[in-house]
Structure 1
Amino acid sequence: MLQKSLIRRLDLITLQLFVAVHEEGTLTRAASREAIAVSAASKRLMELEEALGISLFVRQAKGMSLTPAGETLLHHARQMLFNVEKMGLELGEHSHGVRGYVRMLANLSAIIQFLPEDLRDFSERHPQVKTDLEERPSAGVIQGVLDGVADLGICSIDSDIKGLHSVLYRQDKLVVLMPPHHPLANRSSVAFADTLGSDYVGLHAASSINMRTHAAAREAGKVLRVRIHVPGFDAMCRMVQANMGIGILPQRAYELFGRALGLHAVPLTDEWSDRALILVVRDEALLSPVSRMLFEHLRGIN
């Protein structure tokens, strides 16, 4: 009975309003954002709660917050709205000769090191498939795939994938980036603990490399002396060139950015410096045909 009631009474405008109330915190701001009268918005929410038979919000003097049931609906509502938007994009692309549309999230390491060539090869084989790629830290990639924001993602293997299906994508090696005059520059390899006497140029706080290096410093009983945080590997190379500190980045990123600046890279001996990147999806069996083609292409590279 509940299922029939939902089919008859649940609509996309109400779902979009529900998400807006959560994001804005108040019914008034959500109604303004969705260009709907406050009274009409209130009625829609009441009818939604009646159809579900549960309360979705805790109404407080300073705003509205989700109940546990509301949190559950939020996940499904966002996924439904994403699927509708994706359907519209894919159907619209057909008028321009595009036969498929894939949304993808990936961390910085994957985008800088491997995806340009891998996606180029895929595009050459399937020129009528359009790929939308967005950079996020590994944790953001996982959450985005869980929320249905993307069809597939690439993240670090040491991330909590929260039940997503995963397969190996690529492997990389972390190195210490430094100016040629640095005391460690003439070494063939170095333990991370031996670098902790130097100032560091760190990546943004949410990056897997930043979190792993801080954890390794704690394990060594020391503090990572981060002098400045930067958003990407190219910025790290420039800061190291300017003698702001040393940094940790993948070997291939050094070859792309650091070598041309006259910087040195010394491989780390620590076990965690040999990394793997993985492909994650909610359910491989539920991928669209074009998403499955890209998934199979990427996992077949290694």
Structure 2
Amino acid sequence: MLHKQLIRRLDLITLQLFVAVHEEGTLTRAASREAIAVSAASKRLMELEEVLGVALFSRTAKGMSLTGAGETLLHHARRMLAEVEKVGIEVGEHLQGLRGYVRMLANLSAIIQFLPEDLHSFVSTHLRVKVDLEERPSTGVVEGIIDGVADLGICTMDSDTKDLFSVPYRHDRLAVVMRPDHPLANRAQVAFSETLPYDHIGLHAASSINSRVHAAANALGESLRVRIHVPGFDAVCRMVQANMGIGVLPYKAYELFGQGLGLTVVPLTDDWSHRTLLLVVRERDALSPVSRLLFDHLQLNE
């Protein structure tokens, strides 16, 4: 009897609502996201908990969080919704070609340097696939993939990727951008230690580059002279142009933003300046067909 009741209650709308409440943290935001009245959403959750005989959420003034039973249902709900999407996509292929929706999280370096061309080549081939891309620092990318906010993520290799499945995405190299009249501007390459006597333009505190340069300075027993923090590579280059200091950024970011401002770039000799970006997912085999297509398209083939 419980089995039949469960089948009736586990409709797709209820499952999507359940996942949305977990991801949004409140019933109100989840109901808005799923275009359901709050009262109707509340009723669906209550009926689901009644038929299961367990509480799925702990309800507090700050919001709703999963219980142990809720964590178990979340695992199965995501698999079930992914399978339904897979059925729809594979049937649809017979009519008008592959279609679908992929959610991505990526750090600034990947978005600026590589993803525009990589995504263009992908959607040019798969015209009916839509990609939702959100920028987050590498640690935020990992957290988002674990929490199910997105299907694919790109972060730096030195990130703690927990139990996520990962493959190399791209390689880049960090360099120092400066004005042409800077004392280091005529060097073919420079050690990071040689930049420490000068003021630096720092990226935001959560960025992996910011963490790397501070860690490198600490390893040398020095403090980094950060004159100002800015949110992106373009802002670093503008501050350098205004003679506020020097900045560390990927070489390709200099080509995109600094070269046109008349700035000079000098590669770093330090081993940590050579970076690998990772493509991360929860489970490769559990990806939807369109997510798997994009995953295969993006992973580095060396």
TM bucket by the smaller chain?
A: 0.7 to 0.9
Give the deviation of 1:48 after TM superposition.
4.5
Distance (whole Å) between structure 1 residues aligned to residue 290 and residue 15 of structure 2: 31
Matching residue of 1:148: 148
Give the deviation of 1:253 after TM superposition.
0.8
Per the alignment, in what secondary structure is the counterpart of residue 224 of structure 2?
coil
The superposition leaves residues 85-113 of structure 1 with CA deviations (integer Å, 9 ceiling, x where unpaired) of 978x979x99x967323322221111111
Q: How does 1:57-206 map to 2 (within 5 A)?
A: 62=61, 66=65, 68-69=67-68, 72=71, 76=75, 79=78, 99-101=98-100, 102-206=102-206
Matching residue of 1:298: 298
- Aligned amino acid, residue 294 of structure 2: L
Q: 1:55 to 1:151 in 2, by over 3 A?
A: closer
Distance (whole Å) between structure 2 residues aligned to residue 18 and residue 46 of structure 1: 15
Asked if the contact 2:98–2:126 (Cα under 8 Å) also holds between the matched residues in 1, the reply is no
Matched residue pairs, number? 295
Q: State the identity as a percent.
A: 58
- Aligned amino acid, residue 16 of structure 1: L
RMSD: 3.7
Distance (whole Å) between structure 1 residues aligned to residue 31 and residue 103 of structure 2: 30
Give the deviation of 1:223 after TM superposition.
2.4
Q: 1:226 to 1:80 in 2, by over 3 A?
A: farther
Higher mean Cα deviation, 219-228 or 160-169? Answer: 219-228
Q: Is the counterpart of residue 276 in structure 1 residue 264 in structure 2?
A: no
Q: How does 1:207-286 map to 2 (within 5 A)?
A: 207-286=207-286
- Aligned amino acid, residue 191 of structure 2: A
The superposition leaves residues 261-302 of structure 1 with CA deviations (integer Å, 9 ceiling, x where unpaired) of 111111111111000111112222222333222222222554
The superposition leaves residues 245-270 of structure 1 with CA deviations (integer Å, 9 ceiling, x where unpaired) of 21111011111111111111111111
Q: 1:42 to 1:119 in 2, by over 3 A?
A: closer
Higher mean Cα deviation, 148-157 or 267-276? Answer: 148-157
Give the deviation of 1:77 after TM superposition.
9.0
Distance (whole Å) between structure 1 residues aligned to residue 178 and residue 80 of structure 2: 47
Asked if the contact 2:205–2:211 (Cα under 8 Å) also holds between the matched residues in 1, the reply is yes
Asked if the contact 1:142–1:161 (Cα under 8 Å) also holds between the matched residues in 2, the reply is yes
Distance (whole Å) between structure 1 residues aligned to residue 131 and residue 23 of structure 2: 30
Give unmatched runs, 5+ long, in structure 1: none
Higher mean Cα deviation, 241-250 or 130-139? Answer: 130-139
- Aligned amino acid, residue 71 of structure 2: T
Per the alignment, in what secondary structure is the counterpart of residue 148 of structure 2?
coil
The superposition leaves residues 57-92 of structure 1 with CA deviations (integer Å, 9 ceiling, x where unpaired) of 5566x55664652773696499579859978x979x
The superposition leaves residues 90-147 of structure 1 with CA deviations (integer Å, 9 ceiling, x where unpaired) of 79x99x9673233222211111111222222223333343333222221222222223
Per the alignment, in what secondary structure is the counterpart of residue 180 of structure 1?
coil
Asked if the contact 2:57–2:70 (Cα under 8 Å) also holds between the matched residues in 1, the reply is no
Give unmatched runs, 5+ long, in structure 2: none
Asked if the contact 1:165–1:282 (Cα under 8 Å) also holds between the matched residues in 2, the reply is yes
Q: 1:71 to 1:195 in 2, by over 3 A?
A: farther
Q: 1:288 to 1:49 in 2, by over 3 A?
A: closer
Q: How does 1:3-18 map to 2 (within 5 A)?
A: 6-10=6-10, 12-13=13-14, 16=17
Give the alignment partner of residue 38 of structure 2, picking from 36, 39, 46.
36
Distance (whole Å) between structure 2 residues aligned to residue 75 and residue 157 of structure 1: 28
Per the alignment, in what secondary structure is the counterpart of residue 237 of structure 1?
helix
Distance (whole Å) between structure 1 residues aligned to residue 119 and residue 31 of structure 2: 41
